[in-house]
Structure 1
Amino acid sequence: MSAPLTATRAIGLVARREFLTQVRKKSFLISNGLILVAIVVGIVAMAFLGGGDDDRPRVGVVGTSGLSATLGTIGEATGIPLDLSELPDADAGRAQITDGEIDVALVPGDDGSVTALTESDIDSDLSALLDAAVAQQAQATALTERGVDPADIAAATARATVTVEAIDPPDPEQGQRIILSIVAVVVLYMQILMFGMYVAMGVVEEKSSRVVELLLSTLRPLQLLWGKILGIGAVGLLQLTAYGAVSVGAALATDTLTITGTALGVFASTLGWFVLGFAFFAVLYAAAGSMVSRQEDVNSTSGPLMFVILAMFFAAFSSIDDPEATWSTVLSWIPPFSAVLMPLRIAAGVATPLQIVGTVVLMIVTTALLGVVAAKIYQRSVLRIGRTVTWKEALGR
């Protein structure tokens, strides 16, 4: 006669069964494979379409005068770097403009004037840059003709600059932080909602097919409950890890993301908060599923959970532009809102270590308390086949 299962081994067996059942499905493997490919293709396409030096104005200069050096210096100083090339003559410039190889060809005249050849028009910023470069070059030429070294003039005026001291300087990483925040919020919302529903549907499926009666002949209700939550949660964590690793890896490899430390920190925090957020809702979804006997009745008991998740999602999106708002800071301390607001605050760089630790502890304590209540509902409802168990019956003494 075999020895009875210990609680830990029983939960482990149920979790393993749930995990393998999900990951061995062809639909799971194919859909996730396609999503991972789509993520890589999308990020690579974004990198090719949005970056590089292809956006630099292409300017050709006829001759070997100092105009090219002046253009390059002013372009870098004004934040409009140019792609400069040398042209043998004006005809070569016209030919390259027609072929789309350059945007503007500059032809210096004998009197110091410069003719700008272009296909149709010149951008106003580029036009201002060209005017400044031509004027500076003409000034340098005039000074040289009068025996004054332009370098001496430049050295004498080098210190006559304006220094900008911003009280609240802009964050150069803000754009990337906002993108990371949005991605973290959307992914957490989808994963928590989807895998929470998987728990509820799995409980109802076992209950409606009477499989639960067979399982409970060798397992205790709580062992079955926690085994199911751990198994399905492991699938969700595996899927989220794959999505995150591929996304962050591709983004860093293509320089779509340049804030490596922040990106890895947000990735790690998203995984951690998924575990906490999923655990919070999974126990409640399992309880909601145990109260009904048909799949179509799940929404009647799990509907309130959907509203809470939606409220979390909208609250997080509303605070993306101002994660330091008082209402957002306060709400981030309240479970389960912490699960989506804290990764957002970490991405924005406004979460303190104390807040991170404090919200994690609050989330764990709250989940443990809800787990006790959910386990009570599950034990009282999972074997009651037929009509929907009311909350009063499920919670009654």
Structure 2
Amino acid sequence: MHPEPAEAATRTSTRSTSGERRTQSFVENVSLIAGREITMRLRSKAFLISTGVLMLAVLASVMLGSIFGSQSDVPKVAAVAGATDVVESNAALDVVPAADQDAAEQLLRDGDVEAIVAPAASQPLGIVVFGLDQAPTSVVSALSVTPTVELLDPGAVDPTIAYLVAFGFGIVFFMSAITFGTTIAQSVVEEKQTRVVEILLSTVSARALLTGKVIGNSVLAFGQIVAIAALATLGLLLTGQRVLLGGLGSSVIWFVVFFAIGFVMLAALFAATAALVSRAEDIGSVTTPVTMLVMIPYFLVIFFNSNPTVLAIMSYVPFSAPVGMPMRVFLGTAQWWEPFVSLAILLATAALAVWIGERMYRNSLLKTGSRVPWGEALRG
């Protein structure tokens, strides 16, 4: 007769130095299971190859961004009357005459020019350069002497950079959560289908088994995220993109923190839903709701990264906060206290998800055959 999951205790025994048998603690059992999960993944060629490909893709995207960013056309500038003589002979600039400062600003805001060159008697060159939301480095570098640079909208972020950052946060969260979540689900069903779980539950509790699986895969996922962040940082340093690196610093730190907690929540749900079935063919049908919780934030941040209202809502919804809040930190639209409030909501939701997931997992693990209904898994 198999032990009921709800009553299974951590009964793994070892011999002490005196020869007496002792029962291993819950922490020791969790450590063993987590270590087993980590070892199995690290021995998998598929896991190592996919991780290597992801690392190369991150580094290549940083390098290509730098290469394409440097291959720009001749910058077009609006020259206000009085400054035309200074820049019209510069072959590195495409000069568009403007009647006055207002006309030049309109051209800049419409995107017709990259910068404004206006007369300024107090400056070394007799001119001053105006940019819209960032310093027009291509224009500045085209001038023999660096002039004073002023920004019309100093707090704005380049839309292209904002999109790339949003895409980066979204794809990393999506790929890591789906990859490791699917791995956990397959592991649970495989153990259930081969009845290995019955042997495991004779020595450890269902709670210890689930905790070990979640921790083991969370450690691997967290390690992968840290490696991606380190590699991206190295790429930005090597390509001289220190300005972008400085802007990304705090948002990347928040992303890592939010990801670590969010993944634990998702991992528990993947394991719990997978325990409802006994065949590998049925995994997709039961894990679809959890998969959707991962996919929705990815598509929202891709399509609405420039919409402050959508990002604000995403930053407080637990399943999208790991992407939404770091994005708002990067854009500078989040107050200093907002990440902490969002993190507290995520922690509470993760604790609730782990509790529900552990209950479903424990009540479904030894039930084979047809799919276990959600209500029965929750009631026990």
5+ long unaligned stretches in structure 2: 1-19, 76-82, 98-120, 132-149
1:59-208 pair list within 5 angstroms = 73-74=86-87, 82=91, 126=94, 168-169=153-154, 171=156, 175-208=160-193
Deviation of the 1:26 alpha carbon: 2.2
| 2:197 is aligned with 1:212 | yes
| 2:313 is aligned with 1:317 | no
1:19-38 pair list within 5 angstroms = 19-38=38-57
The TM-score, its normalising length taken from structure 1, stands at 0.70
Distance in 2 (CA, whole Å) between partners of 1:316 and 1:238 is 24
Residues 248, 177 of structure 1: alpha-carbon distance in 2 compared, 3 angstrom cutoff? farther
The structure whose residues are more often helix, as a share, is 1
2:330 corresponding residue in structure 1: 347
| 2:360 is aligned with 1:377 | yes
Does structure 2 retain, via aligned residues, the 8 Å contact 1:213–1:383? Answer: yes
1:138 corresponding residue in structure 2: none
1:12 corresponding residue in structure 2: 31
Does structure 2 retain, via aligned residues, the 8 Å contact 1:181–1:344? Answer: yes
Distance in 2 (CA, whole Å) between partners of 1:313 and 1:305 is 13
Does structure 1 retain, via aligned residues, the 8 Å contact 2:162–2:305? Answer: no
Residues 31, 196 of structure 1: alpha-carbon distance in 2 compared, 3 angstrom cutoff? closer
SS at match of 1:3: strand
Considering only CA atoms, is the larger Rg found in Structure 1 or Structure 2? 1
Of 363, 368, 382, 2:346 maps to 363
Distance in 2 (CA, whole Å) between partners of 1:309 and 1:227 is 22
| 2:62 is aligned with 1:43 | yes
Percent of pairs with identical residues = 27
Distance in 1 (CA, whole Å) between partners of 2:122 and 2:365 is 85
5+ long unaligned stretches in structure 1: 58-69, 84-124, 130-153
Of 247, 270, 283, 1:285 maps to 270
Does structure 2 retain, via aligned residues, the 8 Å contact 1:237–1:275? Answer: yes
Deviation of the 1:225 alpha carbon: 0.1
Residues 220, 269 of structure 1: alpha-carbon distance in 2 compared, 3 angstrom cutoff? same
2:144 corresponding residue in structure 1: none
Residues 127, 56 of structure 1: alpha-carbon distance in 2 compared, 3 angstrom cutoff? closer
Distance in 1 (CA, whole Å) between partners of 2:301 and 2:62 is 24
Residues 81, 272 of structure 1: alpha-carbon distance in 2 compared, 3 angstrom cutoff? farther
Deviations 1:136-185 (A, max 9, x none): xxxxxxxxxxxxxxxxxx789x9999999988556255543432222111
**Structural RMSD (CA):** 3.3
Distance in 2 (CA, whole Å) between partners of 1:293 and 1:82 is 71
Distance in 2 (CA, whole Å) between partners of 1:170 and 1:292 is 52
Distance in 1 (CA, whole Å) between partners of 2:52 and 2:314 is 36
2:369 corresponding residue in structure 1: 386
Does structure 2 retain, via aligned residues, the 8 Å contact 1:181–1:347? Answer: no
Residues 34, 335 of structure 1: alpha-carbon distance in 2 compared, 3 angstrom cutoff? closer
Does structure 1 retain, via aligned residues, the 8 Å contact 2:314–2:321? Answer: yes
Distance in 2 (CA, whole Å) between partners of 1:168 and 1:317 is 24
The TM-score, its normalising length taken from structure 2, stands at 0.73
